Amino acid sequence: MDKNAIGPATWRSALLFIVTGAGLYFYFESEKRKVKERKAAELASVKTGRPKVGGPFTLTDQDGKEFTEKDLLGKWSLIYFGFTNCPDICPDELDKMGAVVNLIEKQHGADVVVPVFVSVDPARDSVSQVKKYLSGESPSGMKCLTGPYDAVKKMCKVFRVYFSTPPEVKPGEDYLVDHSIYFYLMDPKGEFVDAFGKATTAKEVKEKFDKAVEAWKNEQ
**Closest by CA position to 159, among listed 124, 140, 185, 139:** 185
Residues 41-50 have pLDDT tens digits of 344 444 445 6
Residue 8 has a pLDDT of 56
Residues 17-54 have pLDDT tens digits of 565 655 555 555 555 544 444 444 344 444 445 678 88
What residues have CB less than 8 Å from 201, skipping those under 6 apart? Answer: 96
Higher pLDDT, 168 or 179: 179
Residue 24 has a pLDDT of 54
Share of the chain above pLDDT 90, in %: 52
Residues 136-145 have pLDDT tens digits of 667 778 999 9
Given a cut of 90, whether residue 99 has pLDDT beyond it is yes
The whole-number average pLDDT for the span 81-93 is: 91
Q: Are 161 and 180 in contact (CB under 8 A)?
A: yes
What residues have CB less than 8 Å from 175, skipping those under 6 apart? Answer: 165, 166, 169
Residue 34 has a pLDDT of 45
The values of phi and psi at residue 193, to 5°, are -115, -50
Q: What string of DSSP letters covers 15-52?
A: HHHHHHHHHHHHHHHHHHHHHHHHHHHHHHHHHTT---
Given a cut of 90, whether residue 59 has pLDDT beyond it is yes
Residues 101-116 have pLDDT tens digits of 999 999 998 889 999 9
